[in-house]
Structure 1
Amino acid sequence: MTVTVVVGNPKPASRTLTAASLVAKGLRQDSEPTVIDLVSFGSGLLSWGDPAVAAAVQAVAASELVVFASPTFKATYTGLLKLFLEQFDGGTGLADVVAVPVMLGAGPVHALAPDLLLKPVLVELGATAALPGLYLSDRTFQEDGVIERYTDRWRSVAQALGTRTTDHA
């Protein structure tokens, strides 16, 4: 199974990247995820046709499981992630991709943001977003056990959904 992590944090090698990678590895323990740290594209995200961005879009679209992660910024996901998601065709850009929305924040006030704000966009782009979104404390996610409980609970579902089908009727 092809697993990818897409990180929309404006800081390179962020806690968001660490958390998303842990989620991906927990859901698919047999697969090392490809990491796409969007900040590395710089201004390439602002124009259509950037070769590096286009390659990343293709890699994500070809993945079976993608963890889309962002810090909570102004009560939603970052503009960096939005710019990347705008590169996909509506309705079909993420067809056959199982998408897992993950967001980090300082407190529980935005705990519904992954499901209310990020998941609908992923579904609009054609992704299967059957797993609940995951909201994590940006300070305690590495030791509070939330990622382990989430991945233990949803691993079998992610694996069952991750069987890519290429025959579209």
Structure 2
Amino acid sequence: MKAVAVVGNPKAASRTRDAAERLAEALGLDCEVLEVGSLGAGLLGWGDPGVAAAVERVRSADVVIAASPTYKGTYTGLLKVFLDQFPTATGLAGQVALPLMLGAGPAHALAPELTLKPVLVELGAICPAQGLYQLDSTYTTDDSLARWLERWGRTVLDIARTRGTR
């Protein structure tokens, strides 16, 4: 199965990207990474060919990992501007999407569920699992990914396989 990790961190090669790649690897997915910041000023208008190509790369995936650091309790504006390029209700229709956010503390643990998952669903994605929130200081050493995988891994993969026949 093909996955695309859409990384909404303005910093290239960020912990957010690393966390998204770790999630894809743990699920056994062949994952391409799209760092939204690399799209540049074309994100601010409509019809930019580079942005259109990036949207199509995401739309061709079986699984979309939408990854963002937590900024002011929500995902980044950079990720929002990119997601605005997708048509409402059909932009991610039939695709399995996984919201992933990193943050500095547990106070924003619901951010993936309350902020990122709703926009993915609005675009037509299937979000079969609880969003994954990880502390940016411990995500490489704590058991948050393992616990998430134990609870949701099989469900995500089963649904993605089923949807892959669409």
Runs of 4+ that moved beyond 4 A: none
Partner of residue 83, structure 1: 81
- Calculate the aligned-residue CA RMSD, in Å: 1.0
TM-fit CA distance, 1:165: 3.7
Matches of 2:50 and 2:58, distance apart in 1: 12
SS at match of 1:34: strand
Q: How many residues align?
A: 164
1:36-57 Cα distance to aligned partner (Å, 9 max, x none): 0111111111111111211111
SS at match of 2:30: coil
SS at match of 2:94: coil
Give the counterpart letter for 2:8 in structure 1.
G
Partner of residue 12, structure 1: 12
- Is the contact made by 1:7 and 1:16 (CA closer than 8 Å) also made in structure 2? yes
Matches of 2:3 and 2:149, distance apart in 1: 14
TM-fit CA distance, 1:80: 0.3
Matches of 1:83 and 1:95, distance apart in 2: 19
Any residues of structure 2 matched to 1:41-120 within 5 Å, and which?
A: 41-120=39-118
Matches of 2:74 and 2:112, distance apart in 1: 8
TM-fit CA distance, 1:6: 0.5
Partner of residue 159, structure 1: 157
Matches of 2:52 and 2:145, distance apart in 1: 31
Matches of 2:99 and 2:16, distance apart in 1: 12
TM-fit CA distance, 1:96: 1.4
Q: TM-score, normalised by structure 2?
A: 0.95
TM-fit CA distance, 1:67: 0.7
Uncovered stretches (5+) of structure 2, i.e. residues with no partner: none
SS at match of 1:70: strand
Partner of residue 2, structure 1: 2
Identity, % of aligned pairs? 53
